[in-house]
Structure 1
Amino acid sequence: MTLHKSLCVLLILLAFSFSFTQATRFDITNRCSYTVWPAALPTGGGRQLNPGETWPLDVPAGTANARIWGRTNCNFDGSGRGNCGTGDCGGALQCQLSGAPPTTLAEFNLNQPNNLDFYDISVIDGFNIPMEFSPTSNGCTSLRCPADKCPDAYLFPADNTKTKSCPSGTNYRVVFCP
């Protein structure tokens, strides 16, 4: 094989591999009448989201055991230290720890076996904000949690029928107060 052909094959293989490692976009929107301070682990940290605002968050393919949740009644100083009434993560704006109960959680594992994403809503740690967690592509199932006893959410640890799957490469939306 000539050097030119070898280089072309290598470039095609590299382009093909990058198509499976792109980040997944999560658009996190606050439709509540109050400020929500969303947090995301293991990527994303946290920030303030006023009513009507959206936070676009890119999460690397292969991210596992991840979660997004909303915090309420927060006060932070200029250094990012403070506290939240619900979902507090050790007094930090940029969360490095999971939020303290109660928290409505959007949980996900991206690009897992069989090239699938797995996602769910959990209120095992309590309920603090109504939430919708929905794929924005690939026609997969949307999940809604309008109140603390929502039928689409995990209510207790053995409630293993609530996890949904979608093809890897799907983008998602998390809406507070849908």
Structure 2
Amino acid sequence: MSLLKNFSVFSIICITLCFPTSTNAARFDIRNNCAFPVWAAASPGGGKQLNNGESWPIDVSPGTTGARIWARTGCSFDGAGRGSCQTGDCGGVLQCQGYGQPPNTLAEYALNQYNNLDFFDISLVDGFNVPMDFSPTDNGCTRGIQSVAEPGFHIRGGP
């Protein structure tokens, strides 16, 4: 069983991660707390436009490694989901199949790893495009991480 139950990332998008014990899957709820639209992206998971206050849940399999969540900005897509973004673009498609292009602030995670632990971080290795907060919300963990003092992208959830 994973040590952390829920994670929370808060910034332009709010992402909540929850792992129901019955299926051992994880849920991330991504929420846009920015005053402008962002196009949330997840690998695995796809992508979705979020206006201020909107959220997007994604379910993730236990044992997932090398996973990322990020916000794309300045995007324009046609009805077929083709287009581009000024930051975080992932091959010109709304439904990301790979990682985003820099600059983009990253929430990274690996689930049910060494000693059945979950690992998460915020990375600026690919640059910075939005403030972000990622913090546990369950299983005794209540302290998370932020990329800046005033987050706009929020990720919550847990195993």
User: Could you tell me the TM-score, scaled by structure 2's length?
Assistant: 0.78
Calculate percent identity across the aligned residue pairs: 62
For residues 100-119 of structure 1, the aligned pairs below 5 Å read 100-119=101-120
RMSD: 1.8
Give the superposition deviation at 1:27: 1.1
For residues 2-13 of structure 1, the aligned pairs below 5 Å read none
User: Could you tell me the TM-score, scaled by structure 1's length?
Assistant: 0.70
Secondary structure of residue in 1 paired with 2:115 = helix
Tell me, yes or no, if the aligned pair for 1:21 and 1:60 is still in contact at 8 Å. Answer: no
Structure 1 pair 68–23 and aligned structure 2 pair: CA distance change class (3 A): same
Partner of 2:145: 143
Secondary structure of residue in 1 paired with 2:118 = strand
Secondary structure of residue in 2 paired with 1:114 = helix
For residues 14-42 of structure 1, give each alpha carbon's deviation from its aligned partner in whole angstroms, at most 9, with x where no partner exists.
xxxx947521111111000000101101x
Return the structure number with greater relative CO, CA threshold 8 A, min gap 6: 2
For residues 48-63 of structure 1, the aligned pairs below 5 Å read 48-63=49-64
Partner of 2:81: 80
Partner of 1:28: 30
Structure 1 pair 69–110 and aligned structure 2 pair: CA distance change class (3 A): same
Give the superposition deviation at 1:139: 2.9
Give yes or no for the alignment of 1:133 onto 2:134: yes
For residues 94-132 of structure 1, give each alpha carbon's deviation from its aligned partner in whole angstroms, at most 9, with x where no partner exists.
111211100100000001111100000000110000111
Partner of 2:155: 174
- For residues 139 and 118 of structure 1, what CA distance do their matches in structure 2 show? 15
Tell me, yes or no, if the aligned pair for 1:104 and 1:130 is still in contact at 8 Å. Answer: yes
- For residues 81 and 62 of structure 2, what CA distance do their matches in structure 1 show? 28
Letter of the 2:38 counterpart = V
- For residues 94 and 34 of structure 1, what CA distance do their matches in structure 2 show? 20
- For residues 21 and 138 of structure 2, what CA distance do their matches in structure 1 show? 16
For residues 71-112 of structure 1, give each alpha carbon's deviation from its aligned partner in whole angstroms, at most 9, with x where no partner exists.
001000000000001000010101112111001000000011
Tell me, yes or no, if the aligned pair for 1:35 and 1:50 is still in contact at 8 Å. Answer: yes
Give the superposition deviation at 1:136: 1.6
Give the superposition deviation at 1:135: 1.3
Tell me, yes or no, if the aligned pair for 1:29 and 1:53 is still in contact at 8 Å. Answer: yes
Q: Which runs of 5+ in 2 are unaligned?
A: 1-19
Partner of 1:153: none
Q: Which runs of 5+ in 1 are unaligned?
A: 1-17, 148-172
> Which structure has more helix as a fraction of its residues?
1
Partner of 2:6: none
